[in-house]
Amino acid sequence: MTGNSGAAWAAAKPAARRAGIFVAGGLLLWMLATPAASAAPGQAQDLDVQAGNAPAELRCPVHRYRHRGRAWRRHHSGAVVEMPGSDELAELPPLAATPHQDIALSGDDGFDGSRPLTMALWGDSHTASNFFSDEMTRSLGLSGDQVQPTFIPATMGRLGVRLPVRKFCLSDGWKHDYAYVTREDHITVAKGLGDISSHVQGSYLWVDFRAFGSTPDLEGLDVLFEPPAPGAKVQVGVSVDGGAEHVVALDPSAQGVLRITPDHPLSIVKLRLVAGKVVLQGFVPHYNTKPKLYFDTFAIPGATAHAWKVLDPDYLRNRGDGTRYDLVIMEYGTNEGNDRHFDAGKYESDLRVSLQNLRDAYPGAMCVLVGPPDRGVLIPRSRRHKHRRAARAHLDLLKYAKIHERIGEIQRAVGRDYSCAYWSWQDAMGGPGAAYNWMRRSPVLMGHDLTHLTMPGYQLSAKIFTQDIGLAALLARRPQMAKAQTAGPAAAQEAARAQSAVVMNAAPRVDSAPRKPAP
């Protein structure tokens, strides 16, 4: 503008001024909708942002969404159910002695001592709450800030899932999709085995990534999304720590990664759908500090190993940051055993396909299969108070315990063919029928549904598991291997031979439960 242009603008007609405002506003919106940087084919789409000042607490808008759960005390038939009484339990065989499961892990020849031990756990509701994972790290003497995830799945809003973030806010309009329920083959899913999508304009997801403490520790964040179809228009708004929102058009030619790089460490990222349909697959955090352990937990209530049967292992391996795990843990079986038409032969054949895909995705990792814990049977109250003697003859209090035992036998046998060790959660509890015993312990170790454990039950199980697989010795091996690799190949080989002789039960033995059911 020239010096007198302001006066000319003021003297202009109102209609002309409105037209000028419209044109300027449209130009601004066009500029905001343009991605900060175009992605080269096969590369991440970069977004450099100026972060604001993170608030002390992320506050979510109030909305009407509510989880609707079903009370455990109701049987599927509608009858009220309860624990078997002492008279029913007295007829069960005594529990067997709980053996120490000395799990010999193999496949660690490619240990890279320059980085922390890296492991992942996939499972169902037994591990989704992270009680199991958290106790594993505590058993190793690690605090929360010494353990970091390499990948945060997009399972926000799923009941029963606790993620390694401080807090999140999720609007209505999002839909969860999980690999374990699909009937298709070779699906393109990230290692969280699920995604979250929305086509509702204005849908938002806000995440505070300060899992521990209040100090920001992320130097960047990758947002993994499903690349839009050619010609599709997908725009999302991105803001960091209260800074200005950047409206980004997701690039179909990118590898489905939006790389957010702030001008200083970030805490809170807010995503908002502006146009189109977005499918989020997870987040890859980039930390300023290196932990002592990388540990990912990808567990979803209701999940089965079927997810591994239908996924594309090549896509999974190359998705995101390409993390190479030293140890992979697969914990499934309870939901497979809940099938009224459970077929052991079909389960075995499906498990082989699942483990083949696991090995294709992570060929050099050590592997442990975790069998389902013991499970009891709740009795409809009417059977307890009417014709109890006749009804008791038709009850099998070990119905699910026997199925879980069979599932464990299959996992043990099939796992050998894929270099996967096996840990029996049921045996660690005391064997078939132990669920009733754990229900009568103090503190109570079994949930009232006789399917899930209480928090102390999961914590005790995790302590036993951590000891049985020798995780403490495995973690201690890391810095020694790093020193040996620095000294040279010969020293590294000598360190590997020395460490192979470490006794796996590095921690004191933890007793799981009394050997006989409580009276």
**SS3 of 100, please?**
coil
CA geometry: angle 316, 321, 327, nearest 5 deg: 70
- Residue range 401-460, pLDDT digits in tens: 999 999 999 999 999 999 999 999 999 999 999 999 999 999 999 999 999 999 999 999
Pairing outcome for strands 327-331 and 117-123? parallel
Domain that holds residue 438: 84-142+292-519
- Whether residues 474 and 497 fall in one domain: yes
Tell me the two tokens of residue 408: 């464990």
Q: Write down the pTM of the prediction.
A: 0.83
Residue 354 falls inside a structural domain: yes
Is 67 part of any domain? no
Last residue of a domain, one of 288, 305, 339: 288
Q: How many CB atoms lie within 10 A of CB 303?
A: 25
Within-domain flag for 469 = yes
Question: Is the predicted pLDDT of residue 75 greater than 50, yes or no?
Answer: no
Residue 12 inside a domain? The answer is no
Decide: helix, strand or coil at residue 220.
strand
The CATH number that applies at residue 359 is 3.40.50.1110
Among 77-86, 248-257, 363-372, 394-403, name the one with the lowest average pLDDT.
77-86
Q: What is the pLDDT of residue 516?
A: 40
Q: Which of 283, 223, 284, 285 is nearest to 248 (CA)?
A: 223
Is there a single domain that holds both residue 177 and residue 313?
Answer: no
Do 371 and 446 have their domain in common?
Answer: yes
Residue 283 and residue 296 share a domain: no
Asked if residue 336 lies in contact with residue 342, where contact means CB atoms within 8 angstroms, the answer is: yes
CATH number at residue 263: 2.60.120.260
Residues 120 and 89 in one domain: yes
Asked, for residue 68, whether it belongs to a domain, the answer is no
Q: pLDDT at position 43, please?
A: 81
Phi, psi of 469 (to 5 degrees): -90, 0
Asked if 358 contacts 392 with a C-beta cutoff of 8 angstroms, the reply is: no
CA distance readout (Å), 450 to 40, 84, 435, 509 = 54, 10, 6, 26
pLDDT tens per residue across span 29-61: 444 444 445 555 558 899 999 888 878 889 999
In a domain, 18, yes or no: no
> Do both 481 and 384 map to the same domain?
yes
Does residue 2 fall inside a structural domain?
no
Total of domains in the chain = 2
342 and 490 both lie in a single domain: yes
For residues 479 and 338, state if they share a domain. Answer: yes
| Percentage of residues in the chain having pLDDT higher than 70 | 75
Is the domain of 124 the same as that of 185?
no
Q: What is the pLDDT of residues 351-371, one digit of tens each?
A: 999 999 999 999 999 999 999
H or E element at residue 382: helix 381-385
- Last residue within a domain, chosen from 288, 313, 337: 288
Tokens coding 504: 């796996």
pLDDT at 42: 58
User: For tokens 């890279």, what's the residue?
Assistant: 112
Please tell me whether residues 339 and 487 are part of one structural domain.
Answer: yes
Give the pLDDT score at 215: 76
* Domain presence at residue 198: yes
pLDDT, one tens digit per residue, over 101-149 is: 888 776 555 556 678 999 999 999 999 999 999 999 999 999 988 999 9
Boundary residue ending a domain (288, 303, 328): 288
d(CA 361, CA 354): 11
User: Same structural domain for residues 344 and 435?
Assistant: yes
Torsion 53-59-62-66 (CA) sign: positive
Query: Looking at the structure, do residues 50 and 190 belong to the same domain, yes or no?
Result: yes
